[in-house]
Amino acid sequence: MSRRMLVAGNWKMFTTSGEGVILIQDLTGLVRDCWDEVEVAVCPPFTGLKAASTVIEIDGLSIALGAQDMHWEAEGAFTGAVAPRMLTDLRCNYVIVGHSERREYFGETNETVNNKVRAVFGAGMVPIMCVGESLATREALETESFVRNQVMEGAAGLDSAQASKLVVAYEPIWAIGTGRTPTPEAANDVCRSIRATIGAMYGPPAATSVRVLYGGSVKPENAKMFFDEPDVDGALVGGAALKADSFAGIVKAAL
């Protein structure tokens, strides 16, 4: 079974809603020929979701929409938080969960990640669950066991249909925004191990279907090297997703 490549742009805390609309329109002109073959997603800040959703719908674009976070409760007194149905209401398809910046600056744990992963599925969306090791963990040669534990705890309690739809983004923390990357082979080793972990939890069909993305300093110049690896099913892109031409170059590398 061949998995559909997914290239998702994580805009982090960079775009106003107007800037997001322009970015989507510029991107559309460049990737329109690709989106039958490669799934393209953009993940604006919460404040940009409504405008992005509207331009995607009105212009009939085959671009998926993702949020960068979500609370797991259906509603409640959680000032500043956003609930699942607020995102489905805006036709979000994906939610990034457990990005290393959320873990580092907002105290997310594997337990909160798991609450969110299950709530995203519960609302009918698909989580892009981020995992990845620090430089200290890598230098201690503990990357695979660390990431395996993140996957086991973060993706616990799903049913096998959900596990098959899951997207896991392997993002070594030391590669995010730094210009440094692992070799494609080293990235593939961790992606393969993530797939095997999902297989051990949910069975071989889930292992075959789960999509594992690489993230961390992906650019048009290096994307194809990662995409050529057998266990890499696309990319989660930060900095290079903020310019239409560089993001489009990454999408084209996935063809």
237 counts as binding ligand PGA under rule CB under 6 A: yes
Q: Which residue has the tokens 């993002």?
A: 171
A 10 A CB-CB count for 87 gives 24
167 counts as binding ligand PGA under rule CB under 6 A: no
173 counts as binding ligand PGA under rule CB under 6 A: no
181 in Cβ contact with 187 (< 8 Å): yes
Residue type, 25: Q
170 in Cβ contact with 99 (< 8 Å): no
172 counts as binding ligand PGA under rule CB under 6 A: no
95 counts as binding ligand PGA under rule CB under 6 A: no
Query: Which region, judged by CB under 6 A, interacts with ligand PGA, from 75-83, 117-125, 196-204, 238-246?
Result: 238-246
Annotation says 171 is catalytic: yes
Q: Residue 137 has which token pair?
A: 């963990």
Q: What is the DSSP letter of 158?
A: -
Q: Residue 122 has which token pair?
A: 């519960």
176 counts as binding ligand PGA under rule CB under 6 A: yes
63 in Cβ contact with 41 (< 8 Å): yes
* DSSP codes of every residue in 72-95: SSSS-S-TT---HHHHHTTT--EE
Residue from the set 124, 177, 203, 204 that interacts with ligand PGA by CB under 6 A: 177
Annotation says 229 is catalytic: no
Query: Which region, judged by CB under 6 A, interacts with ligand PGA, from 22-30, 45-53, 136-144, 213-221?
Result: 213-221
- Kindly state the smallest distance separating residue 216's Cβ from ligand PGA, in Å: 5
9 counts as binding ligand PGA under rule CB under 6 A: no
| Sites of contact with ligand PGA (CB under 6 A) | 10, 171, 176-177, 215-218, 236-240
- Which residues are designated catalytic? 99, 171
